[in-house]
Chains A and B, each alone.
Chain A
Amino acid sequence: MLELINDFNVLTAFWMTIRLALWSSLFALIIGTIVAIMRLSPVGVLQWAGAAYVTLLRNTPLTLIILFCSLGLWGQLGVEPASRTSDTFIVDLNFRLAVIGLAFYHAAFVTEAIRSGVNTIPVGQAEAARSVGLTFAQNLRYIILPQAFRGAITPLGNVLIALIKNTTVAVAIGVAEAAYALRNMIEFRPDVILLNFLIIAIGFVILTLPTGLAVSYLSQKLVVRR
C-alpha cells in the first residue's frame, strides 16, 4: 500500500486536490455571494440575471463546464490565465481553468445556500434596519448577510464537501489530482484494482469527514438565537 502511494505520487495528487478545492471554494464563495446579492437586490434586471445564472450553471453537468473551460474558454475564446513563458505553463493553465470551472459551477449552489440562509431571517430584521435609516447596501452588509451566512453554514458546508469530491472532474483536462493518480494506478497496477480504489477513497474520506464535523460544530456555535 505504501509502495503504491509512493509509486504514483498519491500524496502529491491529493495536495493538488486540496489546492483545487481551496481556490475553487474561495472563488465560488465570492461569485456565489455576488449572485445572491443580485437576486436579493430590488433591481429587476439583476434579479433576472442572478436567477438565469443559477438555473444555467446548476443544470449543466460539471464535466461539460470543465471541458468547456479548456476547449471553449481557452481553446476557442483565447482566455489564457497563465503565462506562456513560465516553465509550468501547461500545468498552471489546466489548474486555473479547472478552478474557473469548479468555481463558477459551485457558485450557483453557494447562491442557493445563501438564499436559504436569508430565508431564516425574520422580515422584521430588515424592516428594523430600514427604519433606523440604513441604506440597502448597509442593510445587506450589517444585518442581512451576516445572519444569512450564519444561517447557511450547513448548506454551505454541503456545497464545500460536494466541491471537494467534484475536483475529480478536473482529470478530464489533465490536472494531476487524486483521480488522475487513480487513473494511472488502474492503468499500471490492474492487479490491485480494489486497493487502488480503496486508497483514493480513504484519501477523500480524510478530507471530507473533518470538513463535515467542522461544519456541524460551526453551525451550532454560530447559530443566531432568536
Chain B
Amino acid sequence: MQVGSVPTMTQEPSTATSTPLVVLSGVNKHFGDLHVLQDINLTVHEREVVVVIGPSGSGKSTLCRTINRLETYESGTITIDGQDLPEEGKALAQLRADVGMVFQSFNLFSHKTILENVTLGPIKVRGMKPKAAEKHAMTLLERVGVAHQSKKYPAQLSGGQQQRVAIARSLAMEPRVMLFDEPTSALDPEMINEVLDVMISLAKSGMTMIVVTHEMGFARKAADRVVFMSEGAIVEENTPEEFFTNPQSARAKDFLGKILTH
C-alpha cells in the first residue's frame, strides 16, 4: 500500500455540518533522519470528533502538536478555519488562543491556583475583566467537577483532577477546536474514566476535537472518525465501528490484534 494515501476509506461524519475547520495537506516533518510526519492529509470538520490512534512512535503526538505549531514542520500547509498557520509571533499567539490543547502531563501552571490557571488566558489574552473571567471559570470548574478545589494549587490535586482543570483552562478560551495529546496516559487507572467522561460530554456538546489516545472505549463511544497512524503516515481512516470490526490494512489489523486481545 502506498504511504498516506487512503482517501477512499474516508467517510463523512454524520454529525458534521461538513465545514472544514482544520485542514492539513501534504505536511512533512523530520526529526533528524526520522521522517516523523509523511505527507499528512487530514481534514477535520466543525463539530467532528477525530480520534488518532497508532503504536508508539507513529507520529500521532507530533501530528497533534504540529496543528498549533508547538512543533514546526517543513513542507505542506495547515489551515484553521481557512487561515494559514502563521509563523511565530502575535498572529500565532492569537490563533493558538482559538485552539485548545490538553497535554499528557497536564501542564497546569504550578505557581498559580486552580482558579488563576483558568482565568489567566481569558484575562491576559482575551482582555476579559477579572470578575467576569472568574465567574466564567467557576462555571467551567463546576462543569468538570473541581469547583470546590479552586483555591488550591495544582500539586494538591490528583492527576485526574488536574487534567479536568486543564480541560477547563482550555475551554475558558472558548476554542474553535480542542487538541488532546494522550490526555489519560499519565493517569492512574481509576482516574481515567473521570477525565474520559468530561471528554465524552464535551464531544456531545458539539466541540470539534482531535484526540490522540490509547483509549479504544472512548474512540468507540465518542469518535466520528478514527485515524490510524503508523510510522509517520496515516494508514487508515474510518468510522470507529468499521475500523474496529473490519480494519482494512495489515498494520491496523496487527495493531488491533495486539491491543484488543486482552
A131 with B111: CB separation less than 8 A: no
Q: Kindly list chain A residues whose C-beta atoms are within 8 Å of the C-beta of B168.
A: none
Partner of A131, one of B88, B96, B155: B96
Which stretch (B2-10, B31-39, B48-56, B100-108) binds chain A?
A: B100-108
B173 with A132: CB separation less than 8 A: yes
Q: Kindly list chain B residues whose C-beta atoms are within 8 Å of the C-beta of A147.
A: 110-111
Distance (whole angstroms) from the CB of B207 to the closest CB of chain A: 16
A123-143 interface code vs B (CB 8 A; 1 in, 0 out)? 011011111111110100011
Distance (whole angstroms) from the CB of B179 to the closest CB of chain A: 8
Query: Is B97 positioned at the interface, with any CB of A under 8 Å from its CB?
Result: yes
Q: Kindly list chain B residues whose C-beta atoms are within 8 Å of the C-beta of A133.
A: 93-98, 121, 125, 173
Query: Is A39 positioned at the interface, with any CB of B under 8 Å from its CB?
Result: no
Question: Count of A-B contacts with CB under 8 A?
Answer: 75
| Interface SS, B side | mixed
Partner of A127, one of B88, B107, B170: B107
B110 with A224: CB separation less than 8 A: yes
A150 with B107: CB separation less than 8 A: no
A135 with B107: CB separation less than 8 A: no
* Interface size counted on chain B using CB atoms at 8 A: 33
How long is the Cα–Cα vector from A142 to B185 in the complex, in angstroms? 28
Q: Which of B95, B101, B107, B155 has the most CB of A within 10 A?
A: B107
Query: Is A146 positioned at the interface, with any CB of B under 8 Å from its CB?
Result: yes
Q: Which of A92-112 contact B (CB under 8 A)?
A: none
How long is the Cα–Cα vector from A135 to B93 in the complex, in angstroms? 6
- Closest chain A residue to B65 by CB distance? A127
Q: Kindly list chain A residues whose C-beta atoms are within 8 Å of the C-beta of B88.
A: 42, 136
* Interface size counted on chain A using CB atoms at 8 A: 23
Q: Kindly list chain B residues whose C-beta atoms are within 8 Å of the C-beta of A136.
A: 88
- Closest chain A residue to B179 by CB distance? A131
- Closest chain A residue to B124 by CB distance? A138
- Between A and B, 25 residue pairs with Cβ closer than 8 Å are A125-B107, A125-B109, A125-B110, A128-B101, A128-B108, A130-B96, A131-B68, A131-B101, A131-B170, A132-B96, A132-B120, A132-B169, A133-B93, A133-B95, A133-B96, A133-B125, A134-B93, A134-B121, A135-B93, A138-B125, A146-B111, A147-B111, A150-B111, A225-B110, A226-B110
Interface residues of B (CB under 8 A from A): 68, 70, 88, 90, 93-101, 103, 105-111, 120-121, 124-125, 153-156, 166, 169-170, 173
Interface residues of A (CB under 8 A from B): 42, 122, 124-125, 127-136, 138, 142-143, 146-147, 150, 224-226
